Amino acid sequence: MLLVFPKVRFLSAHLIVSATTGGVTANGLAPAFLYGLIELGVTGTNDSRRSLLESSYMVGFVSGAALGVVVGIHVARALNRAFGWEPRKL
């Protein structure tokens, strides 16, 4: 939809690339954090270890999403320059 309007055309790359890289990185980094803790020997059924594993998964997911969005913004800027879609003054 944003490709139709020339004034905001540059935002379409930001929305698509940032969301995609954020989702992919978050879903890749969260299991990596969890696997890392399991390899360190943090397993079991008591509540403290379970909460440690769950919080590790959430930290991995949030940090992966943030990292992916930052990378996506830089990639989108490069795509905008390649396509000649520079932001215009309103």
Q: What is the residue whose two structure tokens read 């969005």?
A: 69
What is the reported pTM?
0.77
- In the chain, DSSP assigns E strands to none
Q: Which of 7, 10, 8 is nearest to 73 (CA)?
A: 10
pLDDT at res. 20:
93
The token pair that represents 5 in the structure block: 């309007």
pLDDT for 14 equals 85
Which three-class secondary structure state does DSSP give residue 49?
helix
Whether the pLDDT of residue 49 is over 60: the answer is: yes
Distance between CA atoms of residues 30 and 28, nearest Å: 6
